[in-house]
Structure 1
């Protein structure tokens, strides 16, 4: 056992979880790739994977490894009505049908944001938003929401842990966060990927604490700045309904 942050942790369990988290971005990995990602020798990783494989958390196909059926059994329990991602899905579908663009729901996790739910646009040219994607907090409309609407001390703590890119001017970014807080919504135009635009608003839960960021995204050919500003009130209305729903489970 080791003590971290005043808490006792089991190193073998930490390593096993590190292995499973390697599959957050890739479906199939080799033992060598996993060992390189988590910084352990292959013999140690091999022993841990053997246990995970025996318990059904890892499946083997030749020299490739992937998540096993036990993970999906656990994931099935997330799709309950007390899970925000599932609870808010009908409202997200309603917003997609109303505005015609891809709708996403993000939460902050450390120095990143995670897409916990998405409803894809029905249009031929659209933004595909995979659920579970982990994205940096220093770029994008939803990131600005997740930083702008947390308490100042929490914002400073998050900003201090972020790995800022050299080309991003922090004072300018912080000024943008103040503007986002004043206006109640955030815009992004090709900040994270070429040709993509997004507008996002906060979703508040119990005691008006920030719970998530709600966004719509699509190609810049449709989501011009004027169009996103026009859409912002519709997102705010949807977010207000979502907040009411979330307060019933928190």
Structure 2
């Protein structure tokens, strides 16, 4: 019996180490260069424990360390893994050419988002070629409470997800819950959502749903740029073009 308990304890320790290592890797969704102190603070572990895990991840090529700054960044192994993602299951890869055509036609930054819990993740972006533009970072995580893409993803999410979102303790005080709920209903009626300086000053966006061939929501397609070029009226005009593009894209997604 004692031997069995030791084996079970070893398994628990192994699983815990894996979870901690994955938590470290997930820290890099928020930044590209992180110090030992920053990582330790982010995951709530002592520096000595984090340092041992960082050393292992560095040895395996999942992280690299800048000898000058002593900061860590993602290593080559992460890129190697990403190249083996099934193309048929990666909307960001499948829809990139169509996104580039949309950018060339409308002249603004085009992004693609997926919902992950109560957040949205930008999985693909095509930057505007204009001098003044909105730069969209791939991999960025944003809350579902503000922004055109957030409203699209929330509007077409299951009812239980919407309820969890609207009852969230992290709800921003600047956003009226009832007004937001009404906006979700309007998204379902009109088929698109807009935002005008909701998340950041000087930025505007319009977003539409992309449905796969199965009929389920595959992603949110958005166009964003400076308010100097994107008035409320312009966003409404662009919504029609985004909807047409989204229909075409839907045939590319399983």
CA offsets per residue over residues 3-43 of structure 1, 9 Å max, x none?
xxxxxx92111100111111112222111111111000111
Match of 2:77 among 55, 70, 88: 70
Separation in 2 of the partners of 1:60 and 1:125? 34
Structure-2-length-normalised TM-score = 0.90
Conserved? CA contact 1:117–1:131, under 8 Å:
yes
1:86 alignment counterpart: 93
1:149 alignment counterpart: 156
2:45 alignment counterpart: 40
2:4 alignment counterpart: none
1:21 alignment counterpart: 26
**Which structure has the greater CA radius of gyration?**
2
1:188 alignment counterpart: 195
1:5 alignment counterpart: none
Change (3 A) 1:102 1:28: same
Conserved? CA contact 1:196–1:217, under 8 Å:
yes
Separation in 2 of the partners of 1:37 and 1:26? 11
Asked whether 1:220 is paired with 2:231, we answer no
2:5 alignment counterpart: none
2:141 alignment counterpart: 134
Match of 1:197 among 193, 197, 204: 204
1:123 alignment counterpart: 130
Change (3 A) 1:206 1:11: farther
Conserved? CA contact 2:166–2:177, under 8 Å:
no
Separation in 1 of the partners of 2:56 and 2:184? 46
Distance apart, 1:110 and its partner CA: 1.2
CA offsets per residue over residues 32-80 of structure 1, 9 Å max, x none?
1111110001111111111111111111223222211111111222383
Distance apart, 1:88 and its partner CA: 0.4
- Cα RMSD of the aligned pairs, angstroms, is 1.8
Match of 2:251 among 217, 239, 244: 244
Separation in 2 of the partners of 1:229 and 1:79? 35
Structure-1-length-normalised TM-score = 0.91
Separation in 2 of the partners of 1:168 and 1:47? 42
Separation in 1 of the partners of 2:216 and 2:230? 29
1:12 alignment counterpart: 17
Conserved? CA contact 1:110–1:158, under 8 Å:
no
Conserved? CA contact 2:207–2:220, under 8 Å:
yes
CA offsets per residue over residues 124-177 of structure 1, 9 Å max, x none?
111111111111110000000001112323322344456201222101110111
Deviant stretches of 4+, over 6 Å: none
SS of aligned partner of 1:208? coil
Unaligned runs of 5+ in 2: 1-7
